[in-house]
Chains A and B, each alone.
Chain A
């Protein structure tokens, strides 16, 4: 008994437009995040994540308009990440229809932000995203889209985030991201066993088998990917059929 494992397409957005190449057929506008979101929801995606890679103060209005348009058109939950530094940033996203917000570098720089957001909106609203890289036998948290290494150990930071009120962890393995060689099941399993909140696996998806592996080996709650979905290399209905055939609980 438990919830279904979730499949989450991730859309990178800049100034209200998706930036990574999209290779769907029959799209009226491949750069329109709302159109893509609708397509994914119609295909059976369980949830969506939008990472707003600009998110400067001036561009926030564009993001808010996009969030409202997604909420109007899409009947599944979605998370917005990028540029959230204070309660007011998160509040406007909640009021615009976002189900969760994701914070990454801002939380590392100011860990109390997690407490503040959890107290204001409930822990279910607060996803802490962590970018991790393996160096000399240890896992270190990286910032600013992975460009800046910190001395913070990934396992310790995730436990701290959980204790401060994160409702979910989105863990991206930078060693695996972009390789299409599969998720980092070893690290994900270790982290997952230490957590009492849900864990989303990210980084490395290249085939349907990789999703089966991460659910069976690491028992994560959700798996996120971008390009394999955007380029149509993996179709969500096929992926779900294949997961079901492996005995994994899928919606």
Chain B
């Protein structure tokens, strides 16, 4: 059963609706004691990374999240929270992975936000991308991105530059796109996460 970190991310309804559609059970994690009730943890997220980190800190859950040994999936800003630091609000984040979240502006000569469907190319065989065709399209909407990194990048996307559209370190996973809004491929990815 999936536990969703309930820290005030506004789009939890979209995530729970997707989990309902694919028949996966879930409940909210409001305090540290809730963590042990679930086999898998999702950190949702939308909006401003700095603001999201403030809200996450306010729950008092940050240190217990960092100590987790069960599979964790961060989505969009929830993924960015796993990095060391974001240029958005000059925010210090969870630092589960020692990489930076950067602003697209001044780094790519394309529209920002990166909004719409783009290809995701896994770098290696991963359970997270099982039964999903190579270069499948996923739905993105973000202005900040996680730099490419040989250790942490699980899949990349090209938007003027090659960046991390999925990351992994041990039991921690993150996806920049929104699987809950990415059609069948997104639903398959959520199913895959539950089998890790």
Contacts and interface: CB of A to CB of B under 8 A. Distances in A.
Contact of A76 (B10, B46, B139): B139
Given A72-B21, A99-B141, A46 B116 contact: yes
A1 B158 contact: yes
Nearest to A100: B141
B137 A198 contact: no
A222 interface: yes
Nearest to A46: B117
Contact of A77 (B10, B118, B160, B181): B181
Interface in A1-48: 1-6, 41, 46-47
Given A4-B116, A77-B178, A122-B47, A71 B143 contact: no
B60 interface: no
Interface string B98-121: 000000010000111111111000
Interface stretch (B63-71, B145-153, B168-176, B182-190): B182-190
Interface in A193-240: 195-198, 221-222
A167 interface: yes
A3 B113 CA distance: 11
Nearest to A120: B47
Interface string B1-43: 0000000001111100110110000000000000000000000
Given A72-B20, A75-B181, A167 B115 contact: yes
Contact of B10 (A73, A94, A168): A94
A251 interface: yes
A124 B143 contact: yes
Interface residues of A, number: 36
Given A94-B11, A168-B115, A198-B113, A125 B159 contact: no
B182 to A, nearest CB: 7
A212 B6 CA distance: 44
B191 interface: no
Nearest to A70: B17
- Interface residue range, chain B: 35 or more
B191 to A, nearest CB: 13
B141 A77 contact: yes
Contacts of B186: 75
A95 B141 CA distance: 17
B164 to A, nearest CB: 15
Nearest to B109: A196
Shortest 3 CB-CB distances between A and B: which pairs? Answer: A3-B116, A122-B47, A1-B158
Interface of A: 1-6, 41, 46-47, 68, 71-73, 75-77, 91, 94-97, 99, 121-125, 167-168, 195-198, 221-222, 251
16 contacts: A1-B158, A1-B160, A3-B117, A68-B17, A75-B18, A94-B10, A95-B12, A96-B13, A99-B181, A124-B141, A124-B142, A125-B47, A195-B111, A197-B112, A198-B115, A222-B116
Interface of B: 10-14, 17-18, 20-21, 46-48, 105, 110-118, 137, 139-143, 158-160, 178, 180-184, 186-187
Given A5-B116, A76-B182, A221-B115, 11 more contacts: A3-B115, A4-B118, A71-B14, A77-B139, A77-B178, A99-B141, A123-B143, A124-B47, A198-B116, A221-B111, A251-B137
